[in-house]
């Protein structure tokens, strides 16, 4: 995976790709296809398979503080390791040589998991070392973006040993991957040169926590989450994420998100508060894991309803409902787009009115024709 001029990680062929490998890529790459084979819980048109819905947080106060939301994902990972369910976790962590970027890590201790906690709104490729990981003797948990998880599940359909290697797969709701240029623009606004940077956090250390840059001389610059995401990152999200029908991680065993508190109109507030994750157990395995982590006091939870999730994550529901009209615009002008199977997009689309569909269709058409967006293979 190499950083493109636009600031996204893209696969680069290092040798000629055999045609059967090319076929396999076409069946696995989430830029080409996203598929849900089966689900073992009730399926909600907006939120996908649901076995259990809760809000909650890590019982370990440091994990709750360091975590992006309530540290629930990290706490579940710690439980998985300490209970012996897995021996390690394949996850994404800050790149020590480039603090705005991500790298992959095989975590084996609580401290490793704590170091990886918190969201980094920058390109990541947690599957780039998959073949290396397949050679290790241990069973591992995997955490990645919804598209990483969909790719891992798709690859496991072709290589069953992948499912044995990764018996538990976790994810988070994803608003999309911003270009690396988003983080550089934040640094620019803070007046910090990337050559002066010694540490950078997108958020976490509180909920939602601030974007925080520390220079080599120890000077600290901060920016609120609302400003960092709203003014610098969200506008630099790649096209593939804007037409993602699976940004809520429907193929994971458990998915976590921000359990935002809303204002009187139901729109999320980003005021600082004690961390709170939204937790959706999607499979029987995920539900059992959540139950076990709760009774062993790794996570504390409260029940939630589908209506609660709609108030916490209105943007996710809106995007999923409008994916079909956006794709229709791309199809009309002959642009490529991924194939989606088993994702019940028509059910989701029916929840939006004709005017919203028309606007999203026209907006995508306009942006595509003015070449401000393009999906590249
Ligand atoms: C790019 C991105 C977009 C997001 N968009 C939304 C959104 O729209 N709505 C929402 O509710 N939540 C979103 N999240 C998720 C949210 O920020 C929290 O991760 C989630 O609420 C779980 O919080 P937690 O405290 O339980 O997780 P933590 O305990 O903090 O664990 C976070 C986990 O995410 C992994 N991780 C961090 N950054 C990346 C990355 N770039 N790629 C792959 N893995 C990573 C870490 O390795 C860690 O395992 C997004 C996260 C990312 C990285």
- Residues 126-150: tens digit of each pLDDT: 999 999 999 999 999 999 999 999 9
Backbone φ and ψ for 98, nearest 5 degrees, come out as -155, 85
Quote the mean pLDDT of the chain. Answer: 95
Give the whole-angstrom CA distance, residue 36 versus residue 109.
32
Give the whole-angstrom CA distance, residue 244 versus residue 340.
9
CA of 268 to the centre of ligand 1 (A): 17
Mean pLDDT for 78-93 is 98
Which token pair is 90?
């394949």
Place of tokens 């973006």: 145
- Which residue's CA lies nearest to atom 53 of ligand 1? 119
104 bridge partner residues: 92
pLDDT at 314: 92
pLDDT at 323: 97
Ligand 1 pocket test target in 68, 120, 175 with most atoms within 8 Å of CB? 68
% of the chain residues with pLDDT over 90: 92
Mean pLDDT for 228-233 is 97
Type and span of the H or E element at 152: helix 146-158
pLDDT at 37: 81
Residues 6 or more apart whose CB falls under 8 angstroms from that of 18 comprise none
Give the whole-angstrom CA distance, residue 245 versus residue 322.
9
Residues 6 or more apart whose CB falls under 8 angstroms from that of 137 comprise none
| Residue 272: C-alpha distances to residues 66, 230, 332 (Å) | 14, 16, 44
Would you call 310 exposed, middle or buried from its count of C-beta atoms within 10 A (0-12, 13-18, 19+)? middle
Atom of ligand 1 lying closest to residue 69 CA: 25
pLDDT over 90 (residue 371) = no
Entry field: residues in the chain: 377
Model confidence at 204, in pLDDT bands (50, 70, 90)? confident
pLDDT at 257: 98
pLDDT over 90 (residue 269) = no
Each residue's pLDDT tens digit, 40-68: 779 999 999 999 999 999 999 999 999 99
Which token pair is 92?
């994404």
- Which residue's CA lies nearest to atom 21 of ligand 1? 257
Judge contact between 330 and 337, C-beta under 8 A.
yes
pLDDT over 90 (residue 313) = yes
pLDDT at 271: 86
Atom of ligand 1 lying closest to residue 247 CA: 8
Atom of ligand 1 lying closest to residue 118 CA: 30
- Nearest to residue 155, comparing CAs of 286, 82, 251, 69? 251
Compute the C-alpha angle 176/347/359, nearest 5°: 60
Give the whole-angstrom CA distance, residue 44 versus residue 32.
24
CA of 132 to the centre of ligand 1 (A): 24
CA of 214 to the centre of ligand 1 (A): 21
Compute the C-alpha angle 173/178/179, nearest 5°: 155
Cis amide linkage into residue 208, ω under 30° from 0:
yes
Rg of the Cα atoms in the chain: 20
Which token pair is 148?
């990483």
Give the whole-angstrom CA distance, residue 360 versus residue 318.
11
| Residue 153: C-alpha distances to residues 175, 177, 274 (Å) | 21, 20, 34
pLDDT at 319: 95
């Amino acid at each position: 995976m190499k950083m493109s001029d636009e600031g996204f990680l893209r696969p680069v062929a290092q040798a000629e790709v055999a045609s059967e490998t090319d076929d396999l890529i076409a069946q696995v790459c989430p830029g080409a296809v996203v598929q849900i084979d089966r689900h073992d819980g009730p399926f909600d048109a907006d939120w996908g398979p649901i076995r259990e819905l809760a809000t909650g947080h890590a019982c370990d106060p440091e994990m709750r503080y360091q975590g992006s939301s309530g540290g629930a994902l990290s706490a579940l990972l710690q439980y998985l390791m300490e209970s012996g369910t897995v021996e390690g976790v394949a996850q994404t962590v800050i790149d020590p040589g480039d603090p705005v970027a991500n790298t992959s890590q095989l975590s084996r201790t609580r401290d490793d998991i704590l170091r990886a906690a918190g969201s980094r709104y920058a390109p990541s490729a947690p599957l780039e070392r998959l073949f290396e990981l397949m050679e290790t003797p241990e069973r591992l948990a995997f955490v990645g973006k919804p598209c990483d998880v969909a790719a891992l599940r798709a690859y496991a359909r072709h290589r069953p040993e992948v499912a044995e290697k990764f018996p538990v797969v976790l994810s988070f709701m994803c608003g999309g991957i911003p270009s690396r240029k988003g983080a550089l623009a934040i640094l620019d606004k803070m007046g910090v040169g990337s050559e002066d940077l010694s540490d950078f956090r997108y958020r976490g250390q509180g909920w939602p926590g601030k974007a925080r840059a520390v220079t080599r001389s120890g000077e600290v610059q901060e920016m609120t989450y609302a400003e960092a995401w709203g003014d610098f990152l969200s506008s630099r999200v790649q096209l593939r994420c804007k037409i993602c029908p699976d940004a809520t991680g429907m193929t994971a065993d458990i998915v976590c998100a921000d359990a935002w508190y809303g204002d009187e109109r139901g729109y999320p507030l980003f005021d600082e508060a004690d961390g709170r994750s939204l937790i959706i157990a999607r499979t029987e395995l995920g539900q059992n894991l959540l139950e076990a982590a709760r009774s062993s006091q790794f996570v504390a939870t409260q029940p939630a309803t589908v209506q609660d999730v709609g108030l916490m994550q209105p943007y996710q529901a809106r995007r999923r409902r409008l994916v079909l009209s956006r794709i229709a615009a791309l199809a009309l002008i002959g642009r490529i787009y991924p194939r989606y199977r088993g994702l019940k997009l028509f059910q989701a689309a029916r929840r939006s009115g004709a005017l919203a569909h028309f606007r999203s269709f026209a907006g995508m058409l306009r942006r595509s024709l003015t070449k401000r967006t393009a999906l590249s293979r």
